[in-house]
Structure 1
Amino acid sequence: MVIRTFHDLTAELLAVLEGHTITERDDKIERITKLIDQRDGLLSRIKPPFTSEEQQLGRAALLLNQKVDHLLKLQKQEIQRDIQEINKKKRSSNKYTNPYESLSVDGMFYDKRN
């Protein structure tokens, strides 16, 4: 049953996003990507008519999916924050290693008298 598999994948994705199974960020992102790809493949195969059990599973999957969306947004914000912090550290480090790099040469005075 396709809807059951979709529901199970959604529940597993939610568990990964909540951090219950994987602690390393790169591994977590890789696992999230695989689960999303698997779910996308199943979406095209879900077609009506649905039995009452499939309808219940579909509703439950939709509720889980709302939580997944929220957690994915939080994960994205966390990654963006880390990228901004890294860029800020790079700029700060560059200013330390070459403090005169950002100085403007506007207003330079050239005296032609000898």
Structure 2
Amino acid sequence: MEQLVKFIQKTNQLASILEAGLPNEGREDYIQSIHDLLGEREQILKSLPDLSNKLDENVKQQLVNLEKNIYGIMLEQQNMIKKDLQVLQLKKKKNNEYAEPYENVSIDGMFLDKKK
């Protein structure tokens, strides 16, 4: 039961960090702390015996709801990070096009006249 209490504490700690939101500054530290907590939870979970018969339904439901909440928040934050990366790549591409505007010019010498 001591391991279960540790697991619940780590899960609550993870949920509180995730609910605080994704910071604009220091994202690497934030992601590293989440990764560390997930690793600690995994180690505790591996050492837990099969308690499915010993736990009451209220505790089981609380853990399931907490896991769903954590999963949803993590997916949301993952999508935010992906979106930020796409915006950053687009900015980098546009900045490069602005710095070197004739880099991608066709070499075939074709000229299109707009007059009829």
TM interval, short-chain normalised: 0.7 to 0.9
| Displacement over 2 Å in runs of 4+ | 22-27, 48-53, 55-59
**1:87 counterpart residue number:** 89
Cα offset, 1:56, TM superposition? 4.1
Give TM-score scaled by structure 2 length.
0.79
1:42-82 deviation digits (Å, cap 9, x = unpaired): 111122245345x6434322210100000000110011011
1:36/1:82 CA distance change after superposition, 3 Å: same
CA distance in 1, matches of 2:101, 2:65: 54
Cα offset, 1:26, TM superposition? 2.4
**2:30 counterpart residue number:** 28
Cα offset, 1:38, TM superposition? 0.4
Question: Number of residues paired by the alignment?
Answer: 106
Q: Which runs of 5+ in 1 are unaligned?
A: 110-114
Matched, 1:51 2:54: yes
Contact 1:7/1:60 (8 A) holds in 2: no
CA distance in 2, matches of 1:58, 1:79: 32
1:72-83 aligned at under 5 Å gives the runs 72-83=74-85
CA distance in 1, matches of 2:72, 2:102: 45
Give TM-score scaled by structure 1 length.
0.81
Contact 1:9/1:39 (8 A) holds in 2: yes
- In angstroms, what is the RMSD of aligned CA positions? 2.1
